[in-house]
Every structure is written in C-alpha cells, then in structure tokens.
Structure 1
Amino acid sequence: MRLALASLVRLCTARNAAAAPLSSSSSPSTSAVAAAALRAAPVCFSSIRALSTSAVASSADGAASFDLARVRNIGISAHIDSGKTTLTERILFYTGRIKEIHEVKGRDGVGATMDHMDLEREKGITIQSAATYTRWLDHNINIIDTPGHVDFTIEVERSLRVLDGAVLVLCGVGGVQSQTLTVDRQMKRYNVPAIAFVNKLDRPGANAFKICEQLRNKLRHNAAMLQVPIGAEENFTGVVDLIDNVALYNEGTFGETIRREAPPAALATVIAERRALLIEAVADVDDELGELFLNEVEPTADQLRAAVRRATISRKFTPVLCGTALKNKGVQMLLNSIVTYMPNPTEIKNYALDLNNNNEKVLVHPENLEKEPFLGLAFKLEEGRFGQLTYLRVYQGRIRRGEFIMNARDRKKIKVPRLVQMHANEMEEIQEAHAGQICAMFGVDCASGDTFTDGTTSLAMTSMFVPEPVISLAIRPERKDDLERFSKALGRFTKEDPTFRLSFDADSKETIISGMGELHLEVYLERMKREYNCPTISGKPKVAFRETITAPVNFDYLHKKQSGGSGQYGRVIGTIEPIGEEAGDANEFTNTMIGMNIAPAFVPAIERGFQEACDRGSLTGNRIVGIRFDLKDGQSHPVDSNELAFRLAARGAVRQAYANGSPILLEPIMKVEITIPEEHQGAVSGQVNRRKGMILDSEVSDGYCVLQTEVPLNNMFGYSTELRSATQGKGEFSMEYVRHAPVPMSTQLELVRAYEKERGGKKDE
C-alpha cells in the first residue's frame, strides 16, 4: 500500500514539476528581495549582504531588540579536510561579517578568519574551536567552527554540548568517513539536530546522491535531499530547490548574487523522483505530513517546509543540501536552511541538576529572561591578552557586566569584570548577555565545565563527556632555567583541555603528558616553544596499556600491625572477578556482607583502598581495569580497627589475589581509515598486516580505495611516513580509539621483562 502511494506521489510531483509556471528572470535588487524575504518566506533567493552588514553592526543593541525566536546556535562539524573552515569563511563573507575571503593554509598570506593560530595556518587544519556571531535574514547566528582531526575531538565535544544545532559537512567524494562517525555519535549524545551539507561537488568523483545514501546506510539517518545538483564535477553550476521547484545559480565574482529560474528540463525526472523521496521520508516521521501523504494530497511548499522543520528539530530527519564552498556555490541556500530548519533556544530541552535535591533533573527555561535566575555553563577556556578568557553559554536569565555571579562547584562569588562577544580571536565589548547567547568573560578563575548562577539557585548544568587519553610522552625542558615557564605552560594546557593530562612518575622522576594522539601532543609541545619560549625534549611516546584479570579469585587478607599503643587491624574476605570489556576503564565495588563484622563506617575506606590498588598493576605498572571487588565478610578489632587499617587491608587483598587471577595486559586498539589510490591497495594492505592490524572492510570508488582497519596503537608510530612513501604522498589516514584488547602473549612477556628490568635497575641504583 505504501509503495503504491509513493508511486502516486511521484507521479503527481512529476506533473507539477512539468507544469510549473516559472519563467527565467534575473536577480532583483538586494533591498527589494531582502524585504520580500523577511515579509513572506523563510527562503531568500538573492544576496542580502548589504542588509546583513548593517544588521551585524547593530547586533548588540540590547534587550529591546532581542528575540529568542530569531537566535540560532550552530556548529560546523565534519571529518578532517571536508571544508568546514572554508564554509565558515563564506558564511561570514555573505552575511557581511568580513569584507574579504581568505583561504585555509594562508596561501594568500592572511589565512582563514577562524584559523587564527599560526600553527593552524601552517598545518592547514583547525586545532581549536573558534566562535563567532553574525546575522542573516534578521536572525542572530552564533557559529562555532570545530576541528576535524580526532586528536582534537574534545573541541567538538564541548562545542556540541552547548549548541542547539549543527551543520554536518560531508566531502562530495569522501562522503561518510571515520571522523564523521565520531561526530555523529557526539551529536546523538547531546541530541543535536543537524543539516547535512555535501561540499566539494566541483571535484572529480563527487556524487551528492551517493553521499545521501551513505547517510542513510552508514549513519542510519532518515536523510533526503532538499536540493538536486545541476551538473557534476567541473560542470557543477547550481542547485534545484525541491520544495520551491526553482533552479538557483550563484553569480558574481564571489557568488554573491543568486539568479533563479525554471529548473532544467533534463532534470525533470530526477527532480520528481527526489521530491517524492523527500515527501515520503518526512511523512514517515511527521504526523501532519503523513496524513496528507496517506490521503494522497500533494503538500504545498509551506506545508512541506514546516514538516521538514518539525522533523529536523526532533532529530527524526536530516535534510541534505549541496554546494562547493571553495567555488562559492550553495552557501546562501545553506544559510537560509539554517534559519528555516534549525531550532531556536526555546525549542531545545536543556536540563540542569538540582544539587539540593539528589541531582534531580530540572528543565531550564530560557524564554523568561526577567523571571528566571541566571544560569550559564563555562565550556571552554583560553589564555587571552587580559587573563583567562572563559567562553560561556547562557541557558537562563541574563548576565551583566559588573554583577556578581556564583560558581556552583565551590560556591565562590565572582564579579564579572568584562563581557565580550567573540569573532575568532577578535572581541567586541557588550554590557549584558541573554539566555540563548554565547559570550565570553575575562578575568574569571574557573575550570572547564563549571556552572555559574546568580546565587539564588542550586542548579548546575550536566557535564560533558571527556574521552580517556590513549598516548603518553615523557618530557622535560631543554634548558634548566625554563622550569618556571615549563610549569606555567603545562598548568595552562591542563586547565584548558580536559583530554590533556599531566602526571609525575615517582619511579622514573619524569613528567608525563597524555593525550589523544601524536599530533595532539606534538601541537602542545610546539605551542610551549612558540608561546612560552620553552623548547622541550621528549622521549618515545608511551601507550596507555591497561591490566586486568581473566579468572575470579577469592581473598582472605588480614592487615595487622602492633607497635605499642593502639595498632592497626583489619580483615577483609571476598572475591575479585573480571567484569568484561564493556566496563571500559571502570572498576566496580560491591558490598554483599551480611552482619556487622565490619562496621559500615569502614566500608568506604575499603573501597578507597581497592581503587588505590588498581592504580598500578604488578605486570607493567599500568592501571588495572574491568574488575569487581565483592566484599563478603571480614573482621574488626574494637580498639585497633580504623579507616587506615581497612584501606591498607583492601590494598593488600587486591595485590595478593591479583597474581592468582591470570592477569593479562590490554592495549588500545585504533580504528584506522586509510584512503589510497586503488593501485596501492596491495602494498598498504601488507603494511597493515605487518603492523598486526586487521582489515575489516574495503571500498573502491572512482579510482580510490578506502580501507577500514583496526590496528594496535603501539604499532602505529611512524605510520604516516611509511604510508606517504608507499603511495607517492597520495595516501592519507585517520584513526580513533575503539577499545582496549588483550595483547599477544609474546608481546606481554616482552613488556613484562622490560618493566622488571627497569624496576631492577632502579633498585640497584
């Protein structure tokens, strides 16, 4: 029945497309089209750059002109080298935020606006997320451009935590790649609705229809195209809007003018088919359009547009748009879609935790600016010219310069000295910020993830997900007199980046930094050299191995110490058992004790002792994970038992039982996606096998081969050089952490011997 109805809708759509009474016409004047767009429809078919420029100039007019319904907070996210920063540069140009277009890598000596760090312009990648704001069609749009490289995934994580919507940029050739999957998972984690933009359609091998199918098959999105490309590859000239049935062409030196005319007759069949697919996809998830669909009623453009908006905001549908940012095509249409289909802050449900009521979830109300107390989340820190710069998303109420706010974590009151709106590394002073806005504060000492209130509420925003580091490096300053700068730099980096960890190895007397990959740590070492004049010496990267047991072990451990006066006495009885890979880096403590042989007051001390014992395993000194400590019984002394005694008893029990639990070593396994010319597939497959990797899948398309592999991180060092050599510089790869898995026994024995030798040498010294 559904298939028959779908066929009928396609037939009706084809007739309507053929009968569309739309004539070719040149673009009308900017002011006339802008005014008409603001009055009548959410889609504008001409450049309104002049209007946007004047709007940006008055973007901080104050509360009188502030309308939450006209606010959009969006992020630009994608796999590395998909064109995120190039797209953002065009958005800023067309909205009048910048006067000239500059390219990534600074080929013109300037570089893209959002890549303001020297390292970003040299490497041609985004390292830090950058925020800006602009206006389009009388709407305020806050934009965060995020990195694509997996090493800087925390920047995407914390940006999506505070955004209401996102643009998922996909390469017209590469399509859904490894980091696309990661970004998609992050969007799902924070329930962020998305618009997909298929970029680089001017490149050889680009195919928007194929990318749309990948969204459906690989990411399981209910996706359908809102536009059909006109031409392909170097002949890509414009798009057909399927909702309004109009062809749109970018013209002018920088594509700043849009010409509209009737769709090409050669595309009539494709347009009819794709419009029918669009209606069917949205009707499946939207009741109002579904009713029209079942009644065989052709929806009007306004009905279809409203249904797409409802389905997109509820994350039941992903609209797909087309273009090429580098060649200045399709960006204004994307801006129109952001305004039309992305939610405003009142349409997204955000929750805070009531600290005085067992962390019960409380719905945040951004719409009542005057009635609701201020609530904001510090999601990013930077070292600015005037002290620490704290990026803040205001969720409720308003914050004013000179007012006092309270940190929900430590209950300290802080005066707001300065409020600014960020445009990359530039800033504009503002007097206040309202719910739904993203701003920044100067001179406020806090940590990333802190919640600020006006002191009248006990609410705190939920925290963001922080992935565990997978690689470590021993470092020291090159010059002895740089120790102060060395400490200052590390202190700043650990405060700014939750995935950059710092520790000190008491045995080796080394400073250890940990992060998400080689590039992640390399960037921080280079920043220490440039920003703090502190060159460093680093040792070989140390992989974050883990230890666990494979068999349950019973324990009965007595800690007893008597040295005159009150002593120490604590006995613990129970079981230590493995809990499987699904536990990740976590360990569990359970108390199944019956009776009062151990006073309940001592149980938390036993748990602390267990967790302390897990910090260092006996095989290689790495953390023990994936085990459960089940306390079943024990014994205490009326005089000599105390918290210290039971904490030491638990530590001793773990160490005693651990050796009998068949301990094994776990290593981080990385999902590695390798893109190479087809003729090099055999050589690269051999490289993966030599590095003890496993090829999971391979896909050949348009002369390129994409290998999906899993390789131990310990075997990936130096692979970029080897890959470039094998593919004449044409190959590229990306990797992300998947899980920890047991190492081969030969590797385990080798690592254990090396650890014992290192420990023995230190004992001899």
Structure 2
Amino acid sequence: MGARETDVPYEAARRRTFAVISHPDAGKSTLTEAIALHAKAISQAGAVHGKAGRRTVVSDWMRMEQARGISITSAVLRFSHRDTLINLVDTPGHADFSEDTYRVVSAVDSVVMLLDAAKGLEAQTLKLFDVCRSQGVPVITFVNKWDRPGRDALDLCDELATHTGLQPMPLTWPIGPAGEFHGLLDCRDGTMVRYQRTVGGATAAQEERLDPAVAAAQEGPAWSRACEEADLLDASGGGFDHELFLAAEASPVLFGAALLNHGVRHLLDFLVDFAPAPRPRVDVAGRPRRLDAPFSAFVFKVQTGMNPAHRDQIAFARVCSGVFERGMVVTNVATGKPFATKYVQQAFGQQRTTLDVAYPGDVIGLVNAAALRVGDTLFAGVPAVRFPRLPRFAPAHFAVARPTDVGRAKQFHRAIAQLHAEGVVQVMRSQRRGQGSAPVLAAVGPMQFEVVLHRMEWEFAVPVTLEHLPYTVVRRLADPSQRPLVDTGWRSEVLMRDDGTELAVFAGQVELAVLQRLHPHLKLDHLVGGVD
C-alpha cells in the first residue's frame, strides 16, 4: 500500500461535501457565493440579479442563467476553509429541474435547506426534503432574508417540525422580527453577534460580539424575546444533538441574510465542525464499500459547453473510495472497458484547474470521457464494484424536436444525443412514428424545453422547433407484445427509452380508462412516486 493509500482515512475525514437546495428565489445561489466569500475562496460577491458593473454569481455561468437570474443546472465549487476541503454543489431551485437536484443529493453527504423568511416551507422545498429523507441525508436549515419583512421565527420552526418531522435545533436565533434584524443570538454560548453592513453585501460583513449583559442593555426587549424563544425551543427538545442530526432526525437551524453576508459564517463553521465527512457507500448488493478500498466513484452529472472555446464535455464523478490519481486507468462498469484519465479537473463554477489526486468525498471532472453517462460506476483494482444507478423521474411533458435546417440533420442528432447524455431531457423513440422519425423529448417540467431550445441554438448552432404533444398520463408497458393496443388507441402511443423501457402515454385519464375498458387484459404499471 502506497503512502497516499494510507492517507485515505485522514483525507476523507477532512472533506465536507454538501449541496444547497431551496425553492426558487429563496437566495440559494447568493448563499452559495456568500459561503465561498467567507471561506475567502473569492474576494467579492456578485448579485444574482446583477446591476450594471456587477458580476453574476460564480455558480451561475450559463448564458441563460445569467440572463434569467436563475440556476438551471448544478454547479460545483471546491475550496478550503481552515483545514477542511469543501465540495459545494449549487443546485437548480426550479421544480422543472428536480431530477438534476436528485442526482446531486445522491452525491453529497449533507444538504443546506434554504428557507425564505417570508414564505417558509413551500411545495418545492418539501419535495426536495423528501428526496433527502428517502436517502437519509442530514439536513441543515438556513432561514434567509431576515433583513426583510417575514414570518415569526417560532412559527417557521413549528412548520419545519410539522411538515418534515425533523426536530428543529436552533444554533442561532434572530434578535428582532423579520425586517428589523438587529443581529443574532449565538445559542451555543449565549452571546450576541452584531453586523456592520457592507456596500451591496459585496464583502464579508464585519462582526461585533457582545456578552449577554451588554446585549441586554443595548437591545432591551428584542434581546429578551430572542433569549426566551430560544430557551423555549431548547426546553422542548431543541437543544443541539449531533447524533440526531447525523441520523437525519433533527435539523440544526440558523438565521441570516445571505445577500448581506449576515449569519453565513456561523453556517460555514457548523459545516466544517459538525457536518458529516464521507461515509462508506452501499453497492448494488447492499454492501458498504470501505473508504480505504480501491478507487471507486460514480458519475452524477455530465456537462458540455462549460468552455465554449473548446466545446469539451466534462463528467462529474463523486469519489466513493480509495485514491484517485490523474492518469490512472479506471474501468466503466457499464461498458466493461478501461480508459486512462489523462485530463482531470476540479471545478469552481465555470473555472477549472488540473487535479492530480482526489480522495473520498471529492468531485472530479473527467474531460472528454464521451462514453460516460449519468449513473455510471468507475473503479480500479479488484474486486469490481457497481453502485445503484440513479433513478429517472417520470416525464410529464412531451414534444417532437425537428431542426429548422434539414441540411444539418447529422449535427442535430448529435446535439440531441448530447443533451440526453447530460440528462437535460429524456430522448425517446416511437415505432408508430417510424424509426427514422424526429425524436420525442420528454421532460419533468416545461422549462427543460426552454433550455433545449436555447442550447441547441446558441451552443450547438442547430436551431430547432418543438411540436408539443398532448400526453399527461404515463404508465410502464409491462408486456411489449401489447404495444399495438396502445399505439392504435385514441390519443395514446408507446415511447421507447434508450434502456429498452417502454412507456405508454395518454392524453388524459379518460383516454387511459377507455383503452383499459376495451382491453381489460392490458398490463400497465404505475411509476412509484413518479420515479422510475
């Protein structure tokens, strides 16, 4: 065993790999950049809705993201804080990109769930939380935008407990109601933290720490109320319990204002001190793979166009065990073929630098590994290992794609295949339409189609038109021999995925009911939980 192999336990213990998830407009990308700012990974923060002369957030690098002020794809930021190496994955907030978020949650050890102080737990936030709960991922809650009018802090904690089943464990508590943010009570030592505003929140806010007596004298009733509310939660079982947090049964709660960089340092310090380090990942047979076993990783994201000058493709893989060294030969379980990892990079948004070595918890970017797909397992040495493939979400929207210039058909099909490999959309075929027909694109939400239109024109230089299909109900066809029954039905057809799965799609419940009444022996399976 080489020197680097003996370092695996130590190196894994100093990694923190986490994602930030939230409902759209809760301030997720702003918080992501504020964390990087406090870790001194950047010197100045941008603004999501950048004003003239200001930069967009470093994690929103796509042209469409910068124009719309939203995150439409996940982004990886790698940096250090104290003696800890952080792999932070910013995720799309919009519900239409929930499948991308699901893949990211599968690749991290904890998540920061961001709540808008005025809106609390919204529908999309709860869906994202359900993803975390299904995978046993510990959740840290950060209540954002306390500098603006919003809801009562106790009500927000009660909502968190009621709708998620997580016991809220406040680590900081706001002094003053939402919109009248005086500072924070540090629940661990009882002191007050007061902040100095900076111009536009572009730099880390200066902090002043006050002992309880001084805080009481200066803040009066606001301080007293904050102490009483924090004590109330502590008395009802809300004291910090590290084991409950790691077991995903309780959630530490922090308050702040990410745009002003208030309360962010407490979050960063908590992640370094208490968030889980990488743990053994379970393979398809249910066996945990030891962190010091030979190298293994799984691909959770494929992205092209990060460097428009070179038009390269990068596959992001989470290291699960062992040591990765650039140039080593690894095997893709899906194909059984080995390949050399000559070009490997680490990412900081769109910026990339060469990576020579990585340990469990790290996210590596394999450049121009064209054979890799989302969910693939990579390994070196023996024995081989295969991690469970990432499930696909059941699509809810369908459209036929055609190039506006038929002379660019070859480029069109190549670009569509690339978007499918990235997981931007699912690409399906229909026997009823003919094998050489235009592909059917399937999406969780309609905004995915906007991304397709944008990227096909601006990135691949192949503008397309979309013919939207009326289908809203999806079932799995259990018996392929029954395909003609669906294809000859009223407003229904069978669409085939690349893995051979056949999905029967219907314009509505009425069309499905009519077909089942005509053919009671038709075998159709539900997609459990909307995930396949």
Q: TM-score, normalization: structure 1?
A: 0.60
Distance 1:227 1:617, change over 3 A: farther
What's the counterpart of residue 466 of structure 1?
Answer: 392
Q: How does 1:504-653 map to 2 (within 5 A)?
A: 504=430, 506-507=432-433, 509-546=437-474, 585-586=475-476, 609=481, 612=483, 616=487, 618-623=489-494
Which one of 132, 135, 139 corresponds to residue 80 of structure 2? 135
Q: 315, 319, 330: which is aligned to 2:263?
A: 330
| Residues 1:221 and 2:166 are matched in the alignment | yes
Q: Which of 176, 184, 209 is residue 260 of structure 1 equivalent to? A: 209
Is the CA contact (8 Å cut-off) linking 1:490 and 1:502 kept in structure 2? no
Q: Which has the higher contact order (CA 8 A, sep 6+)?
A: 2
Aligned to 1:230: 175
Conserved 8 A contact 2:96-2:448:
yes
Aligned equivalents of 1:429, 1:510: Cα separation in 2: 39
Q: CA deviation at 1:213?
A: 1.4
What's 2:234 paired with? 278
- SS of 1:213's partner is helix
- The alignment status of 1:451 with 2:377, answered yes or no, reads yes
Counterpart mapping for 1:39-188 below 5 A: 67-108=11-52, 109-188=54-133
Aligned residue in 1 for 2:420: 494
1:211 is the counterpart of 2:156: yes
Over alpha carbons, which structure has the higher Rg?
Answer: 1
User: Residue type of the partner of 2:459?
Assistant: E
Aligned to 2:283: 352
Deviation sequence 1:387-414 (CA, Å, 0-9, x none): 3211011111011111111111221111
State the distance in 1 between where 2:189 and 2:488 align: 65
Q: How many angstroms apart in 2 are the aligned matches of 1:613 and 1:658?
A: 16
CA apart distance, 1:270? 4.0
Consecutive unaligned residues in structure 1, runs of 5 or more: 1-59, 283-303, 354-359, 547-584, 589-606, 625-655, 669-736, 741-765
Matching of residue 661 in structure 1 with residue 516 in structure 2: no
Mapped to 1, the partners of 2:522 and 2:109 lie a distance apart of: 46
Q: Is the 8 A contact 1:240 1:246 kept in 2?
A: yes
- Tell me the secondary structure at the aligned position of residue 194 of structure 2: strand
d(CA) in 1 for partners of 2:129 and 2:242? 19
Measured after TM superposition, the shift of residue 262 of structure 1 is: 2.3
User: Secondary structure, in 3 states, of the residue corresponding to 1:243?
Assistant: coil
Cα deviation code 1:508-542 (max 9, x no counterpart): 84432111122111111111111112222222343
- 2 CA distance for matches of 1:230 and 1:424? 34
Q: 1:165 to 1:133 in 2, by over 3 A?
A: same
**Residue 249 of structure 2 aligns with which residue?**
316
Note the residue ranges of structure 2 that are not aligned, 5 or more in a row. Answer: 496-514
Partner residue of 2:186? 241
Q: Distance in 1 between matches of 2:445 and 2:204?
A: 39
Contact 1:80-1:149 within 8 A present in 2 as well: yes
Offset from partner CA, 1:354-385 (integer Å, 9 cap, x none) = xxxxxx2111211x2xxx21111011111254
1:189 shift after superposition: 1.7
The residue aligned with 1:595 is none
Cα RMSD for the two superposed structures: 3.1
Aligned mates of 1:379, 1:145 — CA distance in 2? 13
Report the equivalent of 1:341: 274
Match of 2:299 in 1: 378
Aligned-partner SS, 1:114: coil
Q: CA deviation at 1:341?
A: 2.5
- The percent identity for this pair of structures is 24
Counterpart of 1:390 in 2: which secondary structure? strand
How far is 1:455 from its partner? Answer: 4.0
Letter in 2 for 1:535: P
Quote the offset at 1:93 in angstroms.
Answer: 1.1
Conserved? CA contact 1:468–1:499, under 8 Å: no
SS of the aligned residue for 1:218 comes to helix
* Pairing partner for 1:425 from 328, 350, 361: 350
* Match in the other structure for 2:145: 200
Secondary structure of residue in 2 paired with 1:622: strand
- Taking the aligned partners of 1:66 and 1:428, their CA distance within structure 2 comes to 24
| Separation (CA, whole Å) in 1 of partners of 2:116 and 2:136 | 23
Structure-2 separation of matches of 1:87 and 1:237? 20
CA contact (8 A) 1:472 1:512 kept: yes
Report the Cα offset of residue 586 of structure 1: 4.2
Which ranges of 4 or more aligned residues in structure 1 deviate by more than 6 Å? 662-668, 737-740
What CA distance in whole angstroms lies between the structure 2 residues aligned with 1:659 and 1:539?
29
Q: Would the alpha carbon gap of residues 657 and 188 (structure 1) be closer, same or farther in structure 2, given more than 3 Å must change?
A: closer
CA drift of 1:616 comes to 3.4
CA distance in structure 1 between the aligned counterparts of 2:197 and 2:150, rounded to whole angstroms: 26
**Residue 653 (structure 1) aligns with:** none
Partner of 1:104: helix, strand, or coil? coil
User: What is the 5 A alignment of 1:685-724?
Assistant: none
Equivalences, count: 490
- Tell me the residue number matched to 2:319: 394
State the 1:622 CA deviation: 3.0
Written as runs of structure 1 = structure 2, the 5 A alignment for 1:722-761 is none
> Relative to 1, partners in 2 of residues 1:483 and 1:516: Cα closer, same or farther, differing over 3 Å?
same
User: 1:691-746: CA deviations, max 9, x gaps?
Assistant: xxxxxxxxxxxxxxxxxxxxxxxxxxxxxxxxxxxxxxxxxxxxxx9879xxxxxx
User: Could you tell me whether the CA contact under 8 Å between 1:545 and 1:622 is conserved in 2?
Assistant: no
| 8 Å contact from structure 2 (residues 476, 525) kept in 1 | no
Preserved CA contact (<8 Å) 1:417 1:443: no
Structure number having the greater helix percentage? 1
Q: What code does the residue aligned with 1:375 have? A: S
